Structures are given as C-alpha cells and as structure tokens.
Amino acid sequence: MIGGGNPIRIQSMTNTPTADVDATVRQILRLEEAGCEIIRCTVPDMESAEALSKIREQIHIPLVADIHFDHRMAIEAMRHGADKIRINPGNIGGPEKIKAVVREAKERGIPIRVGVNSGSLEKELIGKYGGVTAEGLVESALDKVRMIEELDYGNIVVSIKSSDVRMCIKAHELLSQKTDCPLHVGITEAGTLVSGNIKSGIGIGIILYEGIGDTIRVSLTGDPVEEIRSAKIILRTLGLRKSGIEVVSCPTCGRTKIDLISLADRVEKMTAKYDGLELKIAVMGCAVNGPGEAREADLGVAGGDGEGLIFCKGEILRKVPEEQILPALEDEIKRSAGIK
C-alpha cells in the first residue's frame, strides 16, 4: 500500500529489454535484494506485454507497466499481470482509448499512475505559461487526473518530474495543495552517479522534508541497484526510514595513517548485506575526532599508525592491525545482531 500514511516506498525501473524475461528477472531480483519495493518495466510492444506474466511469476514485489502511445499495450499489460500501469493520458489516444484503459483497470482494481514530464508538456500549456513551468506541469497533471476521475475511477498515483530541481520542488509544493492522490517523487534525467545523486538528494530530500511524497525513485544513468542504495540513504538521512546500517566516515587529512578511503568504501559495501539491522558505524582516520564519533555510534574504528581501535558505544574493545579492521568490525556487527 502507498499513500495514506504508509511508509514511503522505494522504486526503480529495469533497463533490460522487457521481452528478455531471464535478464529482466535477474535484474529485478538484484534490485529486490538491494531493497527495491516497486519495480517498473517498459512495455513498448506486445511481446513485452506478454512477457509480464512470466516475469511476475518469478519476482516478489509489485510490477508496474510503463506505457506510451498505444493504449492496447496498457490493456494487455494488465491482462498479463501488471500490478499498476503508468500512462500519460495525453499521449495514449483519444477519449475512447482512455476509456477502454480505465475500464480494464477498474475491472481488475489496478492503480493508474499518471505521469507528466517537463520534456513532454503540451504546447498549449507552454504557450499559456510562457515556457515549461511548475504551474504548467501541475495543470497538465490535474487535467489527466480529471480525465480518469470523470470515468468514475480514483485509484490514481500522480507523478510530475523535471530535470530542473527547483521547478520540480515548486511543482510538488503546488500539486500537494490541489490533490489527495499519492505522489511519486523523482528528479527525471538526473544524470550520472555523482551528479544524479546530488541533484536527486537535494530535490527529493527537500520535497520529502516538506512532508510531500509517497514513493520515490532516484533516476541515475547506470546500474539501477545504485538507485536503491541512494534512495535508502535519502530516507534514512531524513529519519523516514530507520532500517539499515548507517556508515559515517571522516574526510581524511594529513594525520591519517591508514588507508581510510578504501576502508570506508569496503565497510559500506560489507554492511549492505545487513539491511535489517539498525546500527551506526563510525569509520574515523585518527584520534582527534575518532573517539567522539565512536561514542555517538554503535560501533566504530579510530585509525592509528597501521592499526585501528575498535569501539562499541564509545568503549574501546581492542586494537587490531589495519588488515584486520574490516573483519573485526564485521565480527562486532554479527555479535550485536546475535548472528553466529
């Protein structure tokens, strides 16, 4: 369930050809393991629509069919197991085609996600507002919602996206005042791993902090598993999700006598498999800030000269050589969780 006070859900989208069932299922299972809770697949043709039933049998999270231009794909996707469809009623065809899609969704109780992107805003609205604007995005989205509601169906999720972070924030602020539909939040075409994460962290973070949003996607050019990792960090940073291990680490300086950059990266990767635990781990390079951070963390390490002090809630447990820091931390994680 989304909306209505339910937890904010993390979703992503496959980048495999949907008709390639094996490749798509493999990717979805990887995303599930990373913490994805809703997955979207593009359905550009009938072969992809028919593949959904085979994909659905092998995964464990809701499957959303992404449809553009051809209303028949939406209908076939629902008949082949889609849990939700994503359409833009403005490009799906005329009123009769929209009515056919909504009728099928209504009969099956399948939600419709109405998606509007700044890159596909109608020319009339661009002319009305003198360009692509937040106000235009909101008017477009509400117009699509109205189309569906006038067909006596209200099981709707709304998504308005832009690659312009400030426009996206303003659009969500305006939209949240005008509809009670659950909102899917994301910065579209955000970019590569570095720039995309920064833009998404700022945009999604501000929107969520204002109490707006029910599902999120961090759109990155790359492995979609990275989207899930980033989304979890955004939610955890805002206190909207507590599960998972939080790793804090210092930026290093001339006092650092161990390979802290590599260590912090390896600790973060190692802790990803303990997703159900709620721990804060501090990876610090020296004795200046290390003890203080370690006191605030459940577990921590403060680097020395080729060695590290392992802490647990501020108490020194032992000193280990640098090459033993990672296994020592993992031993303490397991001990804290009662894992043998």
163 and 22 co-located in one domain: yes
Give yes or no for a contact between 324 and 310, defined as CB atoms under 8 angstroms apart.
no
User: Is 2 inside any structural domain?
Assistant: no
185 and 250 co-located in one domain: no
- Enumerate helices (H) and strands (E) in the chain, giving the number of each: 12, 13
Q: Provide the whole-model pTM.
A: 0.84
18 and 45 co-located in one domain: yes
Which structural domain, as residue segments, surrounds residue 142?
Answer: 9-237
In total, how many domains does the chain have?
Answer: 2
The residue among 190, 218, 237 that closes a domain is 237
135 and 157 co-located in one domain: yes
146 and 208 co-located in one domain: yes
111 and 34 co-located in one domain: yes
17 and 130 co-located in one domain: yes
194 and 255 co-located in one domain: no
Written as tens digits, the pLDDT of the chain (340 aa) is 898 889 999 999 999 999 999 999 999 999 998 889 999 999 999 999 999 999 999 999 999 999 988 899 999 999 999 999 998 877 777 788 889 999 999 999 999 999 888 877 888 888 998 998 999 999 999 988 998 999 999 999 999 988 899 999 999 999 999 999 999 999 977 678 888 899 999 999 999 999 999 999 999 888 899 999 899 989 988 988 876 778 888 777 777 777 788 888 888 888 877 767 788 888 887 766 666 666 678 888 888 788 888 888 878 888 889 888 888 888 888 887 777 6
Give SS3 for 1. coil
149 and 290 co-located in one domain: no
91 and 176 co-located in one domain: yes
The residue among 209, 237, 265 that closes a domain is 237
The residue among 218, 237, 256 that closes a domain is 237
CATH code of the domain covering residue 260: 3.30.413.10
